[in-house]
Chains A and B, each alone.
Chain A
Amino acid sequence: MKKVGIFSFTCCEGCVVVFIEALNTQYDNWMKKIKIENFRALKKVKPIKQLDIALIEGAISTPSEVKKLKEIRSKTKTLVALGSGAVNGFPSNQRNKFGPKKQKQIQPLIDKLHQNKTIEPLNKFIKVDVEIPGCPIDEQQLIKTLNGLLD
């Protein structure tokens, strides 16, 4: 059984919705091969242990997200970036290109919420092993990629 963790950072969580839709057809197959260790949408949040596969959606926007991402990396054999936010930062990173007027509007919130200066994709901070692009990811591509990692 491969140990799998599923994590969401700054995003709309649509790629995890695609994962959950993929379960409609793949549940019986995957549950024979994987043990889901971390997945806030389906179970209580637990400390992260050693993982075979981490599926990560969303871009990185705060120091605490950077720290958690690095922790996941240090404990994971194969790290998969799910979707546009994780792969290239868009659309969560739209504020990176705000002009001075919009920047001034949002700056107090960025300071108050301790957000990073810019919102960045995963590979800015860690090594990503597999990328699945798209907003959202394509369900069939997800199934193919995950099945490839499970064989």
Chain B
Amino acid sequence: MHNIIDLDLKNISKIEGHTHLTLKVRDNKVTECKLKISENKRFFTNALVGKSYKQAPGLMSRICGTCSSAHAICTTEAIEKALKLKPSQQTQNLRNLLVNAGHLRDHAMHLYFFTLPDLFNKDSILDFNEEEHKWIHDGLAVKEAGNFLSTIIGGRAVHPPNAVIGGFTKIPTKEEIQESKDKLINVRPRVLKLIQLLFKDKSTFERKTNYVALVNKDYNFLEGQIQTARGTIIPEEQFGDHLTRVVLPYSTASAFEWESKDFFVGASARLNVNQQNLNKETIKDTQEYLKKFPSDCIFDNNLAQAIECIHIIDSSIELLNTPLKPEEPLKPTLPQETATGVGVIEAPRGTLYYRLDINPSGTIALVDLCIPTQSNTIHLEKDIAAYVETILDKSKSEISFEIEKLIRAYDPCMSCATHFLRINWE
């Protein structure tokens, strides 16, 4: 056992963005656990104030290359709500496909490239042996299926140009739709193999807390009400009212609490509150693994993401089977007085919230957002502290490895978390 530990993990790898961790143990208790997100601030929200609302989706998408579709779609939803523009069912279907594609790509990146090395006790997929190489090819194929779907719907996998306020500038061709379905069908059995592998992972650590996610009847990532594990159900517009911003003086990103407590958003939160609404085909083929949920074990977030990949494949194939017709994007009209719009969607890493105020002149007056990684930061720090106290019999390097594994299970995105809002530094 270690009575005293001072850990300083610099530049944690295989996550999105830059972060460090400092941890102190005294008398077998964690006395300090600070996640120091160190992405450099780019002041995007300040930059947006005073610009035309039309620039908002494209600029906000640049907060993060990994989650760009989610930012673009969530900003668009907030703008359309403010301008009272109701997108067509076809637009909504295409947006669901675009966000599905982003989730598939992101989950695959996280699971195959960041998580599998931990499972195989390797530093990197670049060190995989011949036997393990098939997993790299599976990962590349799943990513490619997501990438291709993003490209035919959004025009590009990163910062999608075709998705605009009011609709889409282009719809995919019949051939592209067929090719996308073929790719999705092809990778489905590969993801089922990954699920079996993750199901066998013995990593475990449970802490009963609160989960928050958008809930709806077909487990889509764009619509519905906010539901928590504690039973609260609220309209998505009120999401922001339950949040408290917490300034972490040692981090370049601020954090959030839900009703003054730490909480978790992400794939396992979604499964915990909404698994009954997964696609029927998905439920049929993942029944055995779904029994793990609701789960209080953070490592099950990996399994939850893999199950979501099957759901994304199944629901995307259904959406791709819906006939499309050419449609002009709807034209917004400017508000008579300053109008507020709220957008809430499930980004790959959890609930994403945007509030925008638009002036009668069409310029942005206020931007407020809450990013999943900010929501999870305090929950993550508390999990690390509690988890370390259960593994103090291990060596310092084993403890460091376990901490990194836990952090990676959250799939945090530091680029997103560091977008800057109004923080008063004391």
Within the complex, what minimum Cβ distance (angstroms) separates B316 from chain A? 18
Q: Does residue B420 face the partner (Cβ distance < 8 Å to A)?
A: yes
Please indicate the chain A residues that have their CB under 8 angstroms from the CB of B109 in the complex.
20
Q: Which of A23-31, A70-78, A121-129 binds B?
A: A23-31
Do B40 and A62 touch across chains, with their CB atoms under 8 A apart? yes
Q: Does residue A144 face the partner (Cβ distance < 8 Å to B)?
A: no
Do A109 and B13 touch across chains, with their CB atoms under 8 A apart? no
Do B65 and A13 touch across chains, with their CB atoms under 8 A apart? yes
Do A136 and B65 touch across chains, with their CB atoms under 8 A apart? yes
Within the complex, what minimum Cβ distance (angstroms) separates A25 from chain B? 7
Do B42 and A10 touch across chains, with their CB atoms under 8 A apart? yes
Do B46 and A102 touch across chains, with their CB atoms under 8 A apart? yes
With A14-B159, A108-B425 as contacts: A43 and B11 at CB distance below 8 Å: no
Please indicate the chain B residues that have their CB under 8 angstroms from the CB of A12 in the complex.
62-66, 68, 415
Please indicate the chain B residues that have their CB under 8 angstroms from the CB of A108 in the complex.
425
Q: Does residue B180 face the partner (Cβ distance < 8 Å to A)?
A: no
With A17-B66, A43-B123, A45-B11 as contacts: A115 and B159 at CB distance below 8 Å: no
Contacting B at CB under 8 A, from A1-42, are 8-18, 20-21, 23-25, 27, 36, 40-42
Contacting A at CB under 8 A, from B58-98, are 59, 62-66, 68
Q: Does residue A95 face the partner (Cβ distance < 8 Å to B)?
A: yes
In Å, the complex CA distance between A130 and B143 comes to: 28
Please indicate the chain B residues that have their CB under 8 angstroms from the CB of A25 in the complex.
144
Query: Which of A16, A24, A36 has a CB less than 8 Å from the CB of B126?
Result: A36
Q: Does residue B295 face the partner (Cβ distance < 8 Å to A)?
A: no
Closest residue to B419 on the A side, CB-wise? Answer: A12
Q: Does residue B269 face the partner (Cβ distance < 8 Å to A)?
A: no
Do A17 and B10 touch across chains, with their CB atoms under 8 A apart? no
Q: Does residue A135 face the partner (Cβ distance < 8 Å to B)?
A: yes
Q: Does residue B381 face the partner (Cβ distance < 8 Å to A)?
A: no
Within the complex, what minimum Cβ distance (angstroms) separates B62 from chain A? 5
Query: Which of A8, A15, A36, A92 has a CB less than 8 Å from the CB of B42?
Result: A92
Question: In the complex, how many residues of chain A place their beta carbon closer than 8 angstroms to a beta carbon of chain B?
Answer: 43
Do B13 and A43 touch across chains, with their CB atoms under 8 A apart? yes
Please indicate the chain B residues that have their CB under 8 angstroms from the CB of A13 in the complex.
16-17, 64-66, 415
Question: In the complex, how many residues of chain B place their beta carbon closer than 8 angstroms to a beta carbon of chain A?
Answer: 48
Within the complex, what minimum Cβ distance (angstroms) separates B398 from chain A? 15
In Å, the complex CA distance between A11 and B125 comes to: 25
Do B124 and A16 touch across chains, with their CB atoms under 8 A apart? no
In Å, the complex CA distance between A91 and B159 comes to: 13
Closest residue to B67 on the A side, CB-wise? Answer: A12
Please indicate the chain A residues that have their CB under 8 angstroms from the CB of B10 in the complex.
45
In Å, the complex CA distance between A10 and B423 comes to: 20
Q: Does residue A61 face the partner (Cβ distance < 8 Å to B)?
A: yes
Do B44 and A113 touch across chains, with their CB atoms under 8 A apart? no
Within the complex, what minimum Cβ distance (angstroms) separates B317 from chain A? 20
Please indicate the chain B residues that have their CB under 8 angstroms from the CB of A135 in the complex.
62, 159
With A10-B42, A44-B13, A113-B40 as contacts: A23 and B140 at CB distance below 8 Å: yes
Please indicate the chain A residues that have their CB under 8 angstroms from the CB of B420 in the complex.
106, 109
Please indicate the chain B residues that have their CB under 8 angstroms from the CB of A106 in the complex.
41, 43, 46, 420
Instruction: Write 20 A-B pairs (CB below 8 A) sorted by A numbering.
Output: A11-B42, A11-B65, A12-B65, A13-B66, A14-B66, A17-B157, A24-B141, A41-B14, A42-B113, A42-B125, A42-B126, A43-B123, A91-B42, A92-B42, A95-B42, A98-B43, A102-B46, A113-B252, A115-B40, A136-B159
7 nearest A-B pairs in the assembled complex, by CB-CB distance? A14-B65, A43-B124, A94-B47, A24-B144, A45-B11, A10-B40, A12-B65
Residues on A close to B: CB < 8 A? 8-18, 20-21, 23-25, 27, 36, 40-45, 61-62, 65, 91-92, 94-95, 98, 102, 105-106, 108-109, 112-113, 115, 119, 135-136
- Knowing that A24-B141, A102-B47, A136-B156 touch, tell me 18 more A-B residue pairs with CB under 8 angstroms: A12-B62, A12-B64, A14-B62, A14-B159, A15-B65, A17-B65, A21-B143, A40-B13, A41-B14, A42-B13, A42-B14, A42-B124, A43-B123, A43-B126, A61-B42, A98-B43, A106-B46, A109-B41
